[in-house]
Homo-oligomer: A and B are copies of this chain.
Amino acid sequence: MEILPYSREVYYYETDRMDIVHHSNYIRWLEEARIHLLGQLGISFPEIEKRGLLIPVLSAECQYKFPLRYGDRFEIHCRIESFNGCRFSLSYRIYNKSAEKLSGIGNSSHCFTDVNLKPVRIKKDYPDVFEAFEKASESGQD
């Protein structure tokens, strides 16, 4: 199965007075790319949240390599690095497509909870989500 990278142009309001994208937006883009990836793997965020499953962020980080400016298009390649039924982690490579440069490298880790942020055993309660993650983390996507 081919996984498509996530891509869009920088929004004006994402820039700061340094004339580059403010670094905090990369963290938001990781979320956009993550949800785009999971959607392609058959895991619809809006749908699983309707079913009462939340996926909070345990950690997020980004290294900034080359700036993105207004008018630039970015592309994010995202992959699941680990999954153990309780937690999973992803890695991200953010490219400046206009400059054809690597703009940033990101990582995030997550767990599964109910709406009260109490941990959930998805193998038992959401077997379809468990299987999708299993399959995704086996097959090196991207």
> CB within 8 Å of B: which residues of A?
11-13, 15-20, 22-25, 27-28, 31-32, 35, 45-47, 49, 54, 56-64, 67, 69-71, 117
- The residue from B12, B19, B59, B64 contacting A64, defined by CB atoms under 8 A apart: B59
Q: A16-B13, A28-B24, A70-B17 are in contact. Are A62 and B64 (CB under 8 A)?
A: no
Whether the Cβ atoms of B23 and A17 lie closer than 8 Å is: no
Instruction: Please indicate which of the listed interface residues A17, A22, A45 has the most CB atoms of chain B within 10 Å of its own CB.
Output: A17
Contacts of A70 in B (CB 8 A): 17, 45-46, 49
- Tell me the bound Cα distance from A26 to B20 in angstroms: 20
Shortest CB-to-CB span from A119 to chain B, Å, is: 14
Instruction: Indicate if the CB atoms of A46 and B19 lie closer than 8 Å.
Output: no
Q: How far is the CA of A64 from the CA of B110 in the complex (A)?
A: 10
- What are 17 A-B residue pairs whose CB atoms fall within 8 Å in the complex? A12-B16, A12-B31, A12-B45, A13-B24, A15-B17, A17-B69, A20-B56, A23-B27, A24-B24, A24-B28, A24-B31, A24-B60, A45-B71, A58-B63, A59-B62, A59-B63, A60-B64
Residue of B nearest to A62 (CB): B60
Tell me, rounded to whole Å, the shortest Cβ–Cβ distance linking A23 to chain B.
Answer: 4
* Cα-based distance from A35 to B70 in the complex (angstroms): 12
Closest to A10 in B: B46
